Structure 1
């Protein structure tokens, strides 16, 4: 990267082509690390982390910034949809993690119970952390949002404890219900998905004898999967078919999202095209395209494309549930050079939710829908059709209703 570009830009114009300013992000986290010692008093958003390395013995612990008061936004992805990537990265790297080795089965451990109490209240909780040494480092993941400095924790003290939401208290106290049913009840009760994921992760749901800590990245995907399956199996499959083809488009932070909803029995496909010099194609010379799909019912095996599949399926299922219709959904994502930092599957879920809140293009044929794809896509509809199982299936089946005029 040319130093002259940085001098001209100063973190305001993104002249380097990146979706964020790495210099600003690094400077902000170094400033915060310089201020912290081996003790921290702050308001946890609330936020916790459960690792996966070494499972069933893992690292787990609370996270908090060096500030008190209303800190919810630090760990509330539903509020991040329009925030600059710079701000999200800087904010997340300001969360300090105090971690301790625990067994996933030992949910009666005092430390684990403190973690449970943190996330059950759904509001910021004042905590004190005593570290074994000064926190250092930071991390990025394709599943979880970025995380800031961490250190072994010697002592955790909950200073203030807001009251627990009634629906959360009821589900937490029900030791006979399954974890799956508990997740659905929380969702129906209006608890945000990101909060349900944390409650699920700390082993606070389900039958008493089967409660376990769940690594954060597994919990995120599990909750997206559970809720979307419920919406599809219990709601969407009984709705009438969509009466038209709808095409949604959203562009944000060097990402393009397109959803094509076609009248028919529920089916779903999620595909990603990573351009050279993007996060998962840093040294490539060609666009890397991957995806996965399901015909007629939610898949039982794990999607090869990973957690974004379930995040995108949830956002799509929520929209169809909202309009009381079922459809064949083909959801596409193009990631352009400069978006080269992993920030978590929340990005897909929240960007698609925002996209589905907009008015769609309404057309009467798949050919018209593909013309809209060509209008926005750098890859082009022909390439997408070659790679997409559902688009290929639809184009080969000329007898489908979508080839008649709906008007």
Structure 2
């Protein structure tokens, strides 16, 4: 009902002019590059109608949302945005990198925009990786009214002819907002100019997580190991995260526990993913990539390497997906909340097992069994 009310209120603020639907307001900024129809993809600019200036920030302000907004609150906000969609070939990015829409989506402040839509479909769209978006339709025209304000470092890199991975790392080291970096890559603002492409947002999220994580991984494997076993914890939006760090050369284990009636599972489901010392993992999982980044940031901050176990428990409270940003941010918060130090990995795992809402035995999982019988990387290194 909240979603329905939000959509109705938003649609009532759309003006009709010569059969076109006119949407006016400030994009937070909020935009998506879709993947359907690749290499001709939808570019989507989200606008809260009749909402202007700083008031528009709340519609896409991830770091301010965390711990304050409920799942219903987030869905209500996203339901109020109108999506203005235009189609474009991905290779056209080089022609657009210094034009209105790409620059607007990396602005530091909301940008007043105007869109004329041919159609308007009252449907909500949810995704496990990107933020949900509200009703929308194909745009006859999209105008950016205000001048975007860009971070100076990003403004410079847009005009530099350097590899995208190098640009991503420069922005990350300069502490540019992580989600602005994703948008910059997605809208073709980074990379060798002759190679620039629009990148579907889902792919851009994974690419930025992967690029930054590799940089952090290559640093932490040269640090000393931690000397104690620690457990960390945080929860948000019906997702509960336990993080175990233990003395070891770098390796990582990701365990997801989906409760019955939670978003994608009708019965209790457990998935496992492992990563070795060299940073090789079994398959790409967007949730793991987001969580792994947060843990690597913490290890780099304390200048240590460790064995890592991340246990994510998803309950029926998480009734609609809102993207994987909350995984990244919740694990970041978890690294600030140590709940205990333990004498053995067995004890730490037992504590986590007893705290889980699902009645399962972690010690019966193949990945946990392998952890206790696996040879250490030092066994191999010492033989060389």
Residue 400 of structure 1: CA displacement?
10
SS at match of 2:127: coil
Aligned to 2:234: 250
Are the aligned partners of 1:36 and 1:134 in contact in 2 as well (CA < 8 Å)? no
CA–CA separation in structure 1 for the residues paired with 2:77 and 2:290: 22
Structure 1 residues 103 and 120: alpha-carbon distance in aligned structure 2, compared to 1, 3 A threshold: same
| 1:286-301 equivalences in 2 (<5 Å) | 286-299=267-280
CA–CA separation in structure 2 for the residues paired with 1:48 and 1:76: 13
| 1:318-397 equivalences in 2 (<5 Å) | 318-379=297-358, 382=361, 384-389=362-367, 391-396=368-373
- Residue 221 in structure 1 maps to residue 206 in structure 2: yes
Are the aligned partners of 1:107 and 1:113 in contact in 2 as well (CA < 8 Å)? no
CA–CA separation in structure 1 for the residues paired with 2:95 and 2:77: 31
CA–CA separation in structure 1 for the residues paired with 2:97 and 2:12: 28
Aligned to 2:61: 76
Structure 1 residues 173 and 112: alpha-carbon distance in aligned structure 2, compared to 1, 3 A threshold: closer
SS at match of 1:146: coil
Residue 25 of structure 1: CA displacement?
2.5
Of 110, 121, 132, the match for 2:118: 132
Q: Which moved more, 1:337-346 or 1:197-206?
A: 337-346
CA–CA separation in structure 1 for the residues paired with 2:97 and 2:223: 46
> TM-score, length-normalised on structure 2?
0.91
Structure 1 residues 94 and 255: alpha-carbon distance in aligned structure 2, compared to 1, 3 A threshold: same
CA–CA separation in structure 1 for the residues paired with 2:22 and 2:373: 64
SS at match of 1:325: coil
Of 173, 187, 195, the match for 2:159: 173
Residue 72 of structure 1: CA displacement?
2.5
Output the aligned Cα RMSD.
2.1
SS at match of 2:105: helix
Residue 135 of structure 1: CA displacement?
4.8
Are the aligned partners of 2:104 and 2:148 in contact in 1 as well (CA < 8 Å)? no
| 1:303-318 equivalences in 2 (<5 Å) | 303=284, 306-318=285-297
Of 81, 84, 95, the match for 1:98: 84
Q: What do residues 52-94 of structure 1 show as CA deviations (whole Å, max 9, x unaligned)?
A: 0111011113111120011223223222211211111111121
SS at match of 2:278: coil
> TM-score, length-normalised on structure 1?
0.86
Residue 110 of structure 1: CA displacement?
5.0
CA–CA separation in structure 2 for the residues paired with 1:46 and 1:255: 27
Aligned to 1:279: 263
Aligned to 1:50: 33
Q: What is the total number of aligned residue pairs between the two structures?
A: 370
Aligned to 1:163: 149
Aligned to 1:192: 177
- Residue 63 in structure 1 maps to residue 43 in structure 2: no
Q: What do residues 107-150 of structure 1 show as CA deviations (whole Å, max 9, x unaligned)?
A: 14459832211123232111111111335322000111110111
Residue 180 of structure 1: CA displacement?
0.6
Aligned to 2:9: 31
